[in-house]
Every structure is written in C-alpha cells, then in structure tokens.
Amino acid sequence: MRLKDKVSLITGGAAGIGKATAERFAEEGARVVICDVDQKAGEATIKDIGNDAAFYRVDVTDKASVEEWIKNVTDKSGQIDVLVNNAGIVRDSLLVKIKDGALIRQMSEDDFDLVVAINLKGVFNCTQAVVPAMVRQGGGVILNASSIVGMDGNLGQTNYIATKAGVIGMTKVWARELGRHNIRVNAVAPGFTATDIISSVPDTVLEGMKKRTPLGRLGQPLDIANAYLFLASDEASFISGNVLRVDGGLVVGT
C-alpha cells in the first residue's frame, strides 16, 4: 500500500499507460482520479477500478477546464498528492518529403499545433493548476510523460519529439523551482510500448521494434505504470529532476 490514501490524478487515464497507471495506483491504496476526453472509456475505467475512483471529462489544452477540474477535486478531497501528466497523442509525418526535387508532402501546421497543445501545453496547464494545492499541503509529486524519442530523436516525429524534449526541460525547471516546497518532479521516458497508439503499426514494423530492443519485446503499459508507482512512492523521496528510461535497453537509431 505504497500510495495509501494519496489522491492521485492521472490525465489521459481512460486507456493505455494511463489506465494501467490508474489501476496500479489503486492497487497500492491511492484514491485515483482520472481525466480524459473519452467519456465512455473513462467511465468504464473507473467502474473497473472501483474503490471510489473518479472520472472527469477534461480537455487538458483548455486552461479553464483544467482549473475547474482541479478545483472540484480539491473541494471534494481536500488534497492532491500526485499528478501524472500522461495525456498525449501522435500525428507522425516527415518534416518534408521530396521526390525528384519536388515537394510531395509535409507535416501540416494543424498536426504540429495539436500535438504541442496536448503533449506540452497540457502538461503546463495541469501542473500549474495543481501546484498551489500541493504547496498549501506541504508537498506532492508531479510525474511527466516524456519518451525515449525526446532524448534520442526519431524519423517522422518532429512535433512529438519537440513536445517530449520540452517535457524533459520543464521537468528539470520545475524540480528546481518547486523543491523548496517539498514537491518532487520527474519524468518517465517509455520505449516502444504496446498501446493503442501503435495498434495500426504493421506487424513487420512491430517485429523491427522488438529486434531493436535488447530485451527482445515491446514494453507493456504495466511496465510504465510500475515506474510511475516507484517515483510516486516514498521510496523515491530523494529523486527529483530526473528522467527514467523504461525502454528495454533501446537506443533509437542503433
């Protein structure tokens, strides 16, 4: 019961890594509160979890919506102990694709802006909203979803990588700014993980991912959830400003 009675907020908690994290935290005694834009999936998730889990439909790109969510949670529970900034999307494309000297395709401005809004600004919005409550109660834990590609780069992911590298930078800044308030801030950088995001990836590509991973398999959502659990727990009480790779030993490009 490493998170017994700790109010733990998880964005994008209706599926994938977010759902696995919510379930794992609940197993360890946390009072889980998830948010997502998928109402049906969110309600199904808290029904599966039980144990007084709560769901709110929240768009993390909407600052007012986020602030209302945090106010509702603090009014009801009186505390916020852990925030996991998990919500994220991909919209992959090459920066430009040129054939015979002619431009064929390029990453759209809309796809760039949407990924930045959710993956980067969403993390900013949620963190800024919870910090005052954590300061008032004397501490807390903030965990941010980065990625190995935010550290190593990858083809066709300019927008996604910009956000995940940005998350690492914000993690380090906030660890410095908030440490005086007993708030720890860390990031987790998953490798290739079996979630809905890669459900449309061809089997041949998936096999290539496995071969590039020294442990010879894709990560599972539970692998990432366990990393979040450790960093959220008192076992990590002297860890802040770090990025934990959970990638099976992978180095992108090798």
Q: What is the mean pLDDT of residues 12-33?
A: 97
Calpha distance 226→25 (Å, rounded): 9
**pLDDT at residue 209, rounded to an integer:** 78
Q: What is the mean pLDDT of residues 196-207?
A: 74
Instruction: Specify the DSSP element, H or E, that contains 32.
Output: strand 31-36
Task: Please say whether the beta carbons of 187 and 165 come within 8 A.
Answer: no
- Condensed to tens digits (0 to 9), the pLDDT of residues 153-172 reads 888 899 999 999 999 999 99
* Band (211; pLDDT cuts 50, 70, 90): confident
Which residue of the set 56, 160, 192, 228 is catalytic? Answer: 160
Long-range Cβ pairs for the range 55-62 (8 Å, 24+): 55/13, 55/14, 58/11, 60/11, 60/12, 60/35, 60/87, 60/118, 60/121, 60/122, 60/123, 60/125, 60/126, 61/117, 61/118, 61/121, 61/122, 61/125, 62/125
Task: Please say whether the beta carbons of 42 and 246 come within 8 A.
Answer: no
* Band (252; pLDDT cuts 50, 70, 90): low
How does DSSP assign 161-198, residue by residue?
HHHHHHHHHHHHHHHHHHGGGTEEEEEEEE-SB-SGGG
* Band (74; pLDDT cuts 50, 70, 90): very high
Q: Is the pLDDT of residue 33 over 90?
A: yes
Whole-structure pTM value: 0.93
Calpha distance 140→151 (Å, rounded): 26
Residue 84 pairs with which residues in a beta bridge? Answer: 10, 143
Catalytic residue flag (residue 56): no
> How many Cβ atoms are within 10 Å of 68's Cβ, its own excluded?
14
Q: Which domains are present in the chain?
A: 7-246 (3.40.50.720)
* Band (254; pLDDT cuts 50, 70, 90): very low
More confident residue, 135 or 209: 135
> How many Cβ atoms are within 10 Å of 43's Cβ, its own excluded?
14
Q: Is the pLDDT of residue 253 over 60?
A: no
Instruction: Give alpha helix (H) positions in 8-82.
Output: 16-27, 39-49, 63-77
What percent of the chain has pLDDT above 70? Answer: 96
Mean pLDDT of the chain: 94
With left for phi above 0 and alpha for psi between -120 and 50, is residue 56 left, alpha or beta? beta
**pLDDT at residue 210, rounded to an integer:** 81
